[in-house]
Structure 1
Amino acid sequence: MTVFSRSAALRRTIVAGLACMGLLAGAATGAQTLDKVKQSGQLKIGVAAGDPWYYRDPVSGQWSGVGVLVGEQIAKSMGVKMIPVETTWGNSVAGLQSGQFDVMFVLDATEERKRAIDFPATPLLWYAQGVLAKDGLVAKNWEDLNKPDVRIGVALGTATDRDLTKRLPNARIERFTNTDETVAAFNAGRVDAIGFYHSVLAIAYSKIKKGSVQVPKPVVAIPTSAGVRKEKEPAFRDMLDQQFKKMYDSGQTQTLYSQYLKTKGLDPEKQPGVTKEALEK
């Protein structure tokens, strides 16, 4: 067995173990999440650094972001108080299973995660593969970027790196260690555009105020959701599913996103939205 296959097998074993731990935790705690939240008067949400979803002010220590705004809205509808609980994206599954927090918003429902935790069926919002392009570079379609004289920066090893490498075989793909280095290269003019998910690019633009965020067609839109603990009676999950649908259909989800963009000095009308319908226009 190769090192890679041993690592893959170990990951599968860990995930399976976590899934079992989650089910055992559910049996041990007795009270279902929905009952626990109502009885305690608190909705605990996992928060991890990742603007625009979660942002911790370095001075006040307070958390903000789209995920926090969604949490506040859900808590309000339940008549309880929202409590942010700091975690990391890597520890989100374990935190949910152990009951450190009740829900984590803007958590993608990957197949691996679904083996360990649960997710509402209705997406919370959508984000898309996009580019922050220099002034004068218009990318209505991906083919507008698929040229030898177009330099596109990506973070090495990310899904965007893999996607754009296949999608733009004729472009010059420049790879950097992380997103911050990619943005720095764009700001310095070493690349003509950077690729990543459009919501994160909007935050990058808010800092450097150069170029424009664009979502080329065909749109590569991805739904995101919220993670919750697996339970025998999924009343909490089903309640979130109904809330997500109500918020999405009423336009409230987009309104919350727009509200947060304004705190970053951005005009929401000039930025791609977070509904599938808006992204595919």
Structure 2
Amino acid sequence: MNVLSRFAALRRGFFVGLACLGLLAGTSSHAQTLQKVKQTGELRIGVASGDPWYYRDPVSGQWSGVGVLVGEQIAKNLGVKMVPVETTWGNSVAGLQSGQIDVMFVLDATEERKRAIDFPTTPLLWYAQGILAKEGLVAKNWEDLNKPNVRVGVALGTATDRDLTKRLPSAKIERFTNTDETVAAFNAGRVDAIGFYHSVLVIAYSKIKKGSVQIPQPVVAIPTSAGVRREQDPSFRDMLDEQFKKMYASGQTQALYAQYLKTKGLDPDKLPGVTKETLER
């Protein structure tokens, strides 16, 4: 073997060695989330503005919401402390991949996200396409709204906009820049109803105390989950899956949602819940 051939062989061996070290390092850091949580005594959850899931008090700076309550309960079950880490919905996947957070509750398992991170199999909870309707407007079915004289407000470009545009071709769809503008239009009487996922509508109702939250038939129910880092060792993901099953089956998930609604001055018994069974009644 000449000098050049020997150098090439050494070079290949060097980079193979680096690759192996990188693989081992990656396996070591990515396979131990559950162990790390137990060792540090902390479960770091991502929190991002989006009531009722996450809400930051403007005075105290404290975070609350259904996602926070779920995080606290699971942390308690693990015997550790729940630590909120502020992020955004758009940055949550990157935060999980980089290890800044351990889990992001109430994150939909979209096909795009599933290519980057992992999700428990069991849904955390469910929400449904609904409306906040003015007094006297009852929509037991979507067809009750599909009339030329019914004005329905939506946030431009959202999934609700796309869905109701197809579902209500005869209704007058009014589009607004964002959720706040849509709610303001309803509050001012410029639309007869607004369409969003029912959990968002419940919070809107808590602020303006006008109209009623309704889920017309057929119900468009959507499961949501929790994002976690993809790992060779799935123990953290599987632990969450078991926690979700137990909390959902025991009624604890709905109870935590009801607990949060009460902090908003709402009666949870008079509002749609977050289980598929209650939404599809």
If the length of structure 2 is used for normalisation, what is the TM-score? 0.91
Q: Give the corresponding residue for 2:57.
A: 57
The Cα shift of 1:27 comes to: 2.9
Counterpart position of 1:75: 75
Greater Cα radius of gyration, structure 1 or 2: 2
Equivalent residue runs for 1:82-231 within 5 Å: 82-231=82-231
In structure 1, C-alpha distance between the alignment counterparts of 2:229 and 2:197, rounded to whole Å: 27
Over the matched positions of the two proteins, sequence identity in percent amounts to 86
Q: Is the 8 A contact 1:47 1:87 kept in 2?
A: yes
> In the TM superposition, what are the counterparts of 1:232-247 in structure 2 within 5 Å?
232-247=232-247
For residues 97-151 of structure 1, the C-alpha deviation after alignment (integer angstroms, 9 at most, x for no partner) is 0000100000000000000000000000000000000000001100010000000
Q: Is the Cα–Cα contact under 8 Å of residues 154 and 182 in structure 2 kept in the other structure?
A: yes
Q: Contact 2:31–2:232 at 8 Å: present in 1 too?
A: no
Number of aligned residue pairs: give it: 259
The 8 Å contact of residues 261 and 267 in structure 2, kept in 1 or not, is answered as: yes
| C-alpha spacing 1:219/1:25, structure 2 compared with 1 (3 Å) | farther
> How far did residue 222 of structure 1 move?
0.2
In the TM superposition, structure 1's runs of 4+ consecutive aligned residues that sit over 3 Å from their partners are 23-26
Shift of 1:26: 4.4
CA contact (8 A) 1:154 1:174 kept: yes
Change (3 A) 1:57 1:175: same
RMSD value, Cα: 1.2
Q: Deviations for 1:186-239, whole angstroms, at most 9, x for unmatched residues?
A: 000000000000000000000000000000000000000000000001000000
The SS at the match of 1:258 is helix
2 CA distance for matches of 1:105 and 1:222? 15
- SS in structure 1 opposite 2:272? coil
For 1:217 and 1:104, how far apart are their aligned partners in 2?
Answer: 31
Counterpart CA distance in 2 for 1:124 and 1:42 is 21
Q: Separation in 1 of the partners of 2:119 and 2:30? A: 20
Contact 1:125 1:223 in 2 (8 A): yes
The worse-fitting range, judged by mean Cα deviation, of 28-37 and 73-82 is 28-37
- Indicate the SS of the match to 1:122: coil
Structure 2, gaps ≥5 residues long: 1-22
Q: What CA distance in whole angstroms lies between the structure 2 residues aligned with 1:95 and 1:103?
A: 9
TM-score (norm. length: structure 1): 0.91
Distance (Å, rounded) in 2 between the aligned partners of 1:31 and 1:275: 32
Q: Check conservation: 1:37, 1:43, Cα contact below 8 A.
A: yes
Equivalent pair of 2:151/2:171 in contact (CA under 8 Å):
yes
> C-alpha displacement at 1:31, in angstroms?
5.3
**In 2 relative to 1, CA 176–24 (structure 1 residues): closer, same or farther, beyond 3 Å?**
farther
Within 2, Cα distance between the matches of 1:49 and 1:100? 18
Preserved CA contact (<8 Å) 1:153 1:182? yes
Partner of 1:267: 267
2 CA distance for matches of 1:26 and 1:142? 50
Q: Specify the code of the residue in structure 2 equivalent to 1:114.
A: K
How far does residue 24 in structure 1 lie from its aligned partner after superposition?
9.3
Letter in structure 1 aligned against 2:277: E
CA distance in 2, matches of 1:209, 1:26: 52
The 3-state SS of whatever aligns with 2:218 is coil
Task: Quote how far apart the aligned CAs of 1:25 are.
Answer: 8.1
Q: Which amino acid aligns with 1:36?
A: K
User: Aligned pair in 2 of structure 1 residues 39, 31: CA closer, same or farther (>3 Å)?
Assistant: farther
